[in-house]
Structure 1
Amino acid sequence: MDINISNDVFSATGLVTVVTGGGSGIGLAIAAALAKNGATKVYVLGRRIEALNEAVKAIAASEGVVVPIICDVSNPFTVNTAVEQIQNEIGYVDVLINNAGVSGPDHRGVYAASSITELQDIMLSSWPGWATTFAINTTSVVGVSASFLPLLDAANARKGWETGKLEPGGKPRVKKEVEGMDNSDMRTSQIITIASISAFNRIVTAGLAYGASKAGAVQLAKILATLLGPWGIRSNVVAPGIFPSEMTAGAPSEFPCDKIPAGRQGNFEEMSGTILYMVGKAGGYLNGNVQVVDGGRLGQMPATY
């Protein structure tokens, strides 16, 4: 057993990555972590070009490393346009991070309802908003992931991995040595879906649609791990608690220990470390995994996790 581990096991060195919703909040933190830790390319996708351009400036990486692309993950045309641009520019993607999300209709008022009809009104008030919430938070996990499959497959081939589907009971996937590549690197391509601990808790902390849509995203990511495993593409999940973002702008910075044992929101350093573990060599054996990063919050509320 070789115990002389290199110091780059938590590194994004040489990776081509895509981050949806990369213009702000957790997506911006992820993009910055990748760019500042060796990624060859970090494509940041989002609907607002102003936010994307500001993200590029804020990250301040070497010119050309962070590339903004306008993309609405609920719109197949813009997703395909983004895929075509990346195909033409570099031709492969090592890591796709499904981060884009919306909070959806706010249902926190359900606990203040004083009559059954008032509760009914609150629950029905934003019914049409559910479709948009699910389109972005849930359906896009399948649509975007499927759209990038050829580029994820191409990244495996570039590293010398045998491509195609392995049959049950057959031999393991073969990796050939490739000149100029780190042939000791056993990572295969990966999809990471950023969900939320709202996928697991049973208290309405934002909206009914938000929690349900994130639960759907987690389940889809698990299904993708099983579905894509024979194709050499991995799928994992990050379920954050409260981190600084547009969605949590009104949340306090400190919490009593019976709400969050850590007593605070998470910080971007902690989110960055989680991502660098997952995309680095250290995370090469992860598949179908859910990383909860919440300061212990789920342990303090009714939850299914």
Structure 2
Amino acid sequence: MSAEVRSWALVTGASRGIGAAIAEQLAAAGHGILLNYRSNHEAAEQVRARIVEAGGAVELLPFDVANADASGAALASVLESDKVISVVVNNAGVSADAPFPALEREAWDSVLGPTLDGFYNVTRPLVMPMVRRRHGRIINISSVSGLIGNRGQVNYSAAKAGIIGATKALARELAKRKITVNAVAPGLIETEMAAHAPSKDMVKLIPMRRMGTAQEVAKLVRFLASDDAAYVTGQVVAIDGGLT
């Protein structure tokens, strides 16, 4: 199956939620999927099964994006194969909310690691192959918390704002090589991560008066990964029902 796929997309944190929806949308667009996850093998297998059932190609690629050695080893094995990775979606991330005076160092590191270290660990090894091919799509999943901040989320807001800065800087570096780099900033989305949020109160602040869906975010990512978005780079696209 791998030999028949011309283009592969690596999606991190893709065993559930937005990441899983993105993997399925990119598979439907014709990309082979390298489905990254850290430890939830059962959930990853379920996503893999859905993609295969729909006629797509997918391989599981488990590693912790925050771990430089693990990331390097996993990606080296991919780069040594015949797979051409043309799309990278940096979606992996966690939240550990607390008022700032109660925010422990462990909670700070646990949130910034997957987002910022993960971006570096995953993206850097894949950039030069894209440069040599003069083609690539790098899409980073940020958040409206990185745009406007959110109480109790200093760590999460810092991580997501940092990925926006990285997106804009890298987009300028790679534009002349025909590689686009964009960020997607979801608002309140119906996922497991948002399950504990005070959704009723927050929904009142959203002009559309509803939460978004993972599929709506995934379809935006699918567009940014497509040839139709070849002239879109360095952008942060909020998908939040008008919240920002």
TM-score under structure 2 length normalisation: 0.88
Q: Which amino acid aligns with 2:82?
A: I
Instruction: Name the residue aligned to 1:87.
Output: 79
- Give 2:24's aligned residue: 32
Counterpart Cα distance in 2 of 1:21 and 1:249: 17
The answer to whether the 8 Å contact 1:152/1:189 transfers is yes
Deviation at 1:25, TM superposition (A): 0.6
SS of residue paired to 1:225: helix
Contact 1:45-1:70 within 8 A present in 2 as well? yes
1:151-187, Cα deviation, whole Å (9 max, x unpaired): 3235x2xxxx5xxxxxxxxxxxxxxxxxxxxxxxxxx
Read off the aligned partner of 1:292 and give its amino acid letter: A
Q: Is 2:123 aligned against 1:145?
A: yes
* CA root-mean-square deviation: 2.3
The match for 2:153 is 207
Aligned to 1:74: 66
One-letter identity of the residue aligned with 1:235: V
Q: Which residue of the partner structure matches residue 179 of structure 2?
A: 233
Q: d(CA) in 2 for partners of 1:97 and 1:256?
A: 27
Question: May I ask how many residue pairs the two structures share in their alignment?
Answer: 239
Shift of 1:64: 6.7
Match of 2:113 in 1: 135
- The partner residue of 1:263 within 209, 216, 222 is 209
1:234-277 deviations in Å (ceiling 9; x for gaps): 21100011112221112466667750111111113322321121
Contact 2:6 2:84 (C-alpha < 8 Å) held by counterparts: no
* Structure 1 CA distance for aligned equivalents of residues 16 and 215 of structure 2: 15
Deviates more, 1:48-57 or 1:208-217: 48-57
Compared with structure 1, are the counterparts of its residues 70 and 132 closer, same or farther at alpha carbon in structure 2 (3 Å cutoff)? same
Return the match for 1:277 from 202, 208, 223.
223
Structure showing the higher helix proportion among its residues: 2
Q: Which residue of 1 aligns with 2:92?
A: 100
The equivalent of 1:47 in structure 2 is 38
> Per the alignment, in what secondary structure is the counterpart of residue 142 of structure 1?
helix
Q: CA deviation at 1:78?
A: 1.8
Q: 1:99 to 1:202 in 2, by over 3 A?
A: closer
Residue 235 of structure 1 contacts residue 287 of structure 1 at CA under 8 Å; is this kept in 2? yes
1:96–1:192 contact (8 Å) kept in structure 2: yes
Question: Residue 123 of structure 1 is aligned with which of 101, 121, 142?
Answer: 101
Return closer, same or farther for 1:249/1:140 CA change in 2, 3 Å cut-off. same
CA 1:77–1:62: 2 relative to 1, 3 Å: farther
Over 3 Å counting, the alpha-carbon distance change for 1:73 and 1:258 in structure 2 is: same
Q: Is the 8 A contact 1:242 1:265 kept in 2?
A: yes
Structure 1 counterpart of 2:137, from 170, 173, 190: 190
Distance 1:126 1:96, change over 3 A: same
Structure with max Cα Rg: 1
* Change over 3 Å in CA distance of 1:46–1:208 after alignment to 2: same
Alpha-carbon distance in structure 1 between the residues aligned to 2:114 and 2:234:
21
Pick closer, same or farther for the CA change 1:134–1:77 going to 2, 3 Å: same
Q: Following the alignment from structure 1 to structure 2, what is the Cα–Cα distance between the partners of residues 257 and 195? A: 20
Higher strand share: 2
Partners of 1:90 and 1:61 in 2: CA distance: 24
Please state whether the residue corresponding to 1:95 is helix, strand or coil. strand
- In structure 1, stretches of 5+ residues that fail to align are 1-12, 111-121, 162-187, 299-305
Query: How far apart, in 1, do the equivalents of 2:215 and 2:17 lie?
Result: 13
Specify whether residues 230 and 264 from structure 1 end up closer, same or farther in structure 2 by C-alpha distance, changes over 3 A only. Answer: same
3-state secondary structure, aligned to 2:10: strand
